[in-house]
């Protein structure tokens, strides 16, 4: 991939599901560090150590499963979480908007997917409000290490 950057065929390199350990190993041998690391990141899996490592090293953490996931039949909805509902009510926003805003305020990049034009417009309105520190902390407190993707497997267990 570094050769493709050198040849001008790509502008940046990204990785997915890299843990701090994986990134450290990669950065010891690469010439061009990744610009983005796409990982599972949501209220049940607030990867704070990874997020801070990425920030410190100029790597953007891109969140996936921000609104839940149906991987391996593990459908999860975060919309009913009490702190999400409370923030949604306080800001006259949808739970989806609160979840996306929460991830942004944590410092993660979110790219929600939708084919529904109304949801796309709705998602774009996450810049019209901010969460309080107390609201962010309440959503953070939901963290229990629960993984929805990879059938619950921690990518750090992969060598």
pLDDT tens digits along 39-71:
999 999 999 999 999 999 999 999 998 887 655
CA 117 to chain centre: 22
Q: Where is pLDDT greater, at 76 or 23?
A: 23
Cα distance between residue 59 and residue 132, in whole Å: 26
Residues in the chain: 159
pTM of the model: 0.89
79-99 mean pLDDT? 95
């Amino acid at each position: 991939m570094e050769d493709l950057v050198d040849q001008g065929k790509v502008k940046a390199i990204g990785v997915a599901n890299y843990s701090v350990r994986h990134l450290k190993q990669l950065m010891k041998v690469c010439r061009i560090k990744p610009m983005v690391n796409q990982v599972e990141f949501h209220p049940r899996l607030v990867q704070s150590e990874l997020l801070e490592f990425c920030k410190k090293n100029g790597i953007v953490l891109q969140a996936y499963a921000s609104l839940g996931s149906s991987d391996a039949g593990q459908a999860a909805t975060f919309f009913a979480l009490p702190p999400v509902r409370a923030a949604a009510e306080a800001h006259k926003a949808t739970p989806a908007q609160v979840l996306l805003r929460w991830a942004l305020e944590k410092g993660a990049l979110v790219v929600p997917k939708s084919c529904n034009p109304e949801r796309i417009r709705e998602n774009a309105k996450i810049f019209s409000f901010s969460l309080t520190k107390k609201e962010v902390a309440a959503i953070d407190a939901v963290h229990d290490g629960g993984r929805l993707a990879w059938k619950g497997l921690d990518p750090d267990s992969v060598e």
